[in-house]
Structure 1
């Protein structure tokens, strides 16, 4: 059921500012009714960091409905990522034709192009056809030429998060979670993983099913939500995607990860072979195995990364 604008946006910051932005976007569309009573704002489920709404304008002369997506930023996320950097990345990815267009921005959020595609489910990640499409899209995404230093961001981000975790956790939690020794473990892991194969590219870093959309007609894949995107080892991003296959965030127990669902070796090999083949050149078995092994090692970094994220998020 659609919920009228003011009711939907209660408690969402400056309602007046948000409404001005929404009306301005509607005006830019040109063919929508200039009547706030015909405007609908529908809360969308699934977002973890932000509040997300579908905006519907009634078109003039019975022309149907025009849509956009309103994203209201969550509180306290500045600890986890730089919002200004995320906006720059969003705009740059959009210019590359890899994501939704930015229609407007304001103090507490932004309005984006509404993608007429469906968000994938946990089950979709295991569908061989869909998985192959994701693998090809990942390769394309990793090859984006983005602004900023093209060096690994993973380790420094984890160190920053560890420092923040120590600040906000109670002493007993610092001890229980072993945070006193984690600096040393991060250093050790960085050294060990950096010694082997390490191809660097622009990584999404949060490739769970909710951040992947598919157009049912064209079967095209779009990766969305770039809060954690940065240059990193490609093996890390692949490892993250494999780890996300064990999660179902729409179950009754979204916090429980089922590692019986972790992809078997053959499935990981198939995904990486398609990933490497997507540019038209068949990879050698040795190259596939090299990246499969590197991704397996980077699962350790993924667990550590999202473990620290969890400590900060619940504090």
Structure 2
């Protein structure tokens, strides 16, 4: 198989992996990026944390008995409609140099292969563990201090991203059943657009600083290595400049769970926990030993407001997935959960902002 080197120094392999025949495609990829791996000693395992992409662990048993592992991520169907893959790769490479993201081993037509981080992904219990959450807060603060090149506009990505999602909403949905469900739950795209404009008018006044943010720090994107006592972030598809408080709020919103049957808003972190989390975060971000109470309270207030924006973003995203994704996940129900939560919180937040 032929391969070419991109200008960025990455290996590009001109193959497309069929999501219905993952292992055959992954083995074909490995022949190029790991030519010394003997197929009989390769063990493949499909990981199940994501709901957009598919992830395959590739393990090779060396003659010494050591194991070498890398990950192959296969992009979900039509995700290129709303994810800038060039920016994703640029961001991963930038963060890798700083020790904040995995190394990329190879890129193919619908995915990439990258470094494996040993450890476990967080869940609804471990994310509040006193040995773990301070590491997450500190790691996020480190990422927020990263500066991209001057050619990258320092503007919050979230407004353009929601616009993009709204433009991708089908009118009507290709399935009559989906269209009926959408109409029953959300009325119309026009109503969602009006809501978006109102939200933007109020929240764009925020004083939350614009930082380089992960923007999708769900529990499955945080790896805890107990032996090393470290936290690593993965999956930088939505990494971009955004509001500091948005990234924190978005992470807090994920404490409730992701599985449709397991989402429980009683798990949303209480004010006391958020204060302590933000205090640790600000100590690293501001490079101080003891952030002041007014500094912590300011960020806390902004986080509550940006929680609303997080729900709206991923609610609209889920409606796009509802139309296009082949993943076995009820995106229609997830959209209902996120947007219903948005409407529950909206009036109280809007009153604060008006």
Question: Is the TM-score greater than 0.5?
Answer: yes
Match of 2:134 in 1: 132
CA shift for structure 1 position 214: 1.4
- What pairs with 1:19-34 in structure 2 (closer than 5 Å)? 19-27=27-35, 34=37
Q: Residue in 2 aligned with 1:304? A: 312
Shift of 1:107: 1.4
Equivalent position of 1:4 in the other structure: none
Give distance in 1, aligned partners of 2:320 and 2:215. Answer: 17
How far apart in 2 are the matches of 1:122 and 1:40?
A: 29
Q: Of 70, 73, 76, which aligns to 2:72?
A: 70
Kindly provide the CA deviation profile for residues 178-228 of structure 1, in whole angstroms up to 9, marking residues without a partner as x. 421222222221221222322110111111110001111221111110111
Q: Deviations over 1:82-122 (max 9, x none)?
A: 22221222222222211110011111222111112221222
Q: Which residue of 1 aligns with 2:348?
A: none
Count of residues in correspondence between the two structures: 297
Matching residue of 1:3: none
Cα pair 1:26 1:57 within 8 Å, conserved: no
Aligned to 2:204: 194
Further displaced range: 295-304 or 273-282: 273-282
Kept after mapping to 1: 8 A contact 2:73/2:112: yes
Tell me, yes or no, if the aligned pair for 2:214 and 2:247 is still in contact at 8 Å. yes
What is the CA deviation profile of residues 228-282 of structure 1, one whole-angstrom value per residue up to 9, with x for unaligned ones?
A: 1111101111111111111143xxxx35521111111111111111110123342
Cα distance in 1 for partners of 2:277, 2:192 equals 32
Structure 1 counterpart of 2:88: 86
1:237 alignment partner, one of 247, 254, 263: 247
- Tell me the distance in 2 between the aligned counterparts of 1:300 and 1:26: 45
Partner residue of 2:105 out of 98, 103, 106: 103
Q: Matches of 1:122 and 1:281 in 2, distance apart?
A: 29
Gaps of 5+ in 1: 1-7
Q: Name which of structure 1's ranges 72-81 and 151-160 shifts more when overlaid on structure 2.
A: 72-81
User: 2:222 is matched with which residue: 200, 212, 217?
Assistant: 212
Q: Are the counterparts in 1 of residues 23 and 44 from structure 2 also a CA contact under 8 Å?
A: no
Q: CA, structure 1 residues 13+258, in 2 after alignment: closer, same or farther (shift >3 Å)? A: closer
Coordinate RMSD, CA, aligned:
2.2
| SS, match of residue 97 in structure 1 | coil
The within-5 A match list for 1:176-195 is 176-178=185-187, 179-195=189-205
Q: What does residue 58 of structure 1 align with?
A: 61
Check conservation: 1:197, 1:290, Cα contact below 8 A: no
CA distance in 1 between partners of 2:190 and 2:261 (Å):
25
Taking the aligned partners of 2:88 and 2:261, their CA distance within structure 1 comes to: 26
Structure 2 vs 1, CA of residues 12 and 93 (structure 1 numbering), >3 Å: closer, same or farther? Answer: farther
Residues of 2 paired with 1:9 and 1:303: CA distance? Answer: 32
Instruction: Report the TM-score when normalising by structure 1.
Output: 0.87
Give the structure 1 partner of residue 45 of structure 2. Answer: 42
Q: Which residue of 2 aligns with 1:263?
A: 269
Q: Secondary structure at the match of 2:250?
A: helix
Q: Higher mean Cα deviation, 234-243 or 109-118?
A: 109-118
Deviations 1:147-183 (A, max 9, x none): 4221111111111111211445366535741421222
The answer to whether the Cα contact below 8 Å between 1:12 and 1:72 also exists between their aligned partners in 2 is no
Structure 2: any 5+ residue segments left out of the alignment? Answer: 1-16, 324-354
1:80–1:309 CA contact under 8 A, matched in 2? no
Residue pair 1:50, 1:73 contacting (<8 A) in 2 also: yes
